A and B are shown apart, each in its own frame.
Chain A
Amino acid sequence: DAGVTQSPTHLIKTRGQQVTLRCSPKSGHDTVSWYQQALGQGPQFIFQYYEEEERQRGNFPDRFSGHQFPNYSSELNVNALLLGDSALYLCASSFSQGGILSETQYFGPGTRLLVL
């Protein structure tokens, strides 16, 4: 049973560029949440996708956008990169049954983004 996978593992970009990070949820899961974890901090919620729509959003600017595909995988896009976007980006998956979301999220290994 494959767990949550993310790609790439590391990424280096320069200011102003755009980046796309990818996530495949755990088998049987249909909901994907994205978190940003700055060095030495706890993860901060970016947004959550369910049924290919953004269900909830954290306090992040519109430069952060996402997408969920019919196979439940998800992408996180960040435009106009800033130095402050350097962080570990974590994807977490969970499942909903009849619209009731399971409270337990399982995390992927993360993508380390460095903006120069």
Chain B
Amino acid sequence: AQTVTQSQPEMSVQEAETVTLSCTYDTSESDYYLFWYKQPPSRQMILVIRQEAYKQQNATENRFSVNFQKAAKSFSLKISDSQLGDAAMYFCALPTSGTYKYIFGTGTRLKVLA
């Protein structure tokens, strides 16, 4: 069975600093995608970044980047130059093959300190 684990229930970072959120997963698939979603208090789940497993290069979206280690089944999210608006719950998600239902981790609450 596919699983997603986020071992950090809560993280804090000073404004303008860098923080890394961890995610590990398990799948028997060879080709798959991984996602990070952000859920602020407004509740809307917002796509932050996605990674295709067959691509060696780590995905980057502005201040957000991932460290994808396929062999270790690790998919961490790095947020650079943290801003107050980055405060939210962050979820790692693994779509299953076929119909792509998502399996989510339990989330990491990120606090940004001014």
A binding-site residues for B, Cβ under 8 Å? 33, 35, 40-45, 48, 55-56, 58, 88, 90, 92, 94, 101-110, 112
Contact of A43 among B35, B46, B104 (CB under 8 A): B104
A43 and B99 form a contact (CB under 8 A): no
Q: What total count of A-B pairs have CB within 8 Å?
A: 60
6 A-B pairs with the lowest CB-CB distances in the bound complex, closest first: A42-B104, A107-B45, A56-B99, A45-B101, A109-B44, A103-B33
A-B contact list, 7 entries, CB within 8 Å? A42-B107, A48-B101, A103-B95, A105-B95, A106-B47, A110-B44, A110-B45
CA distance A110 to B98 in the complex (A): 25
B-side contacts of A43, CB under 8 Å:
45, 91, 102, 104
B-side contacts of A35, CB under 8 Å:
102
CA distance A39 to B29 in the complex (A): 30
A-side contacts of B99, CB under 8 Å:
48, 55-56, 101
Known: A42-B107, A44-B104. 9 other contacts (CB 8 A): A40-B107, A43-B45, A43-B91, A45-B103, A56-B101, A101-B100, A104-B33, A107-B37, A107-B44
B101 and A90 form a contact (CB under 8 A): no
Kindly report which residue of chain A lies nearest to residue B33, judged by CB atoms: A103
B-side contacts of A92, CB under 8 Å:
45, 102
Q: Which of B57-114 contact A (CB under 8 A)?
A: 91, 95, 98-107
CA distance A12 to B45 in the complex (A): 22
CA distance A107 to B4 in the complex (A): 19
A-side contacts of B45, CB under 8 Å:
43, 90, 92, 107, 110
Chain A nearest CB, measured from B72 CB (Å): 21
B102 and A105 form a contact (CB under 8 A): yes
Chain A nearest CB, measured from B41 CB (Å): 12
A112 and B100 form a contact (CB under 8 A): no
B100 and A105 form a contact (CB under 8 A): yes
Kindly report which residue of chain A lies nearest to residue B44, judged by CB atoms: A109
B-side contacts of A90, CB under 8 Å:
45
A109 and B42 form a contact (CB under 8 A): yes
Chain B nearest CB, measured from A39 CB (Å): 11
Kindly report which residue of chain B lies nearest to residue A110, judged by CB atoms: B43
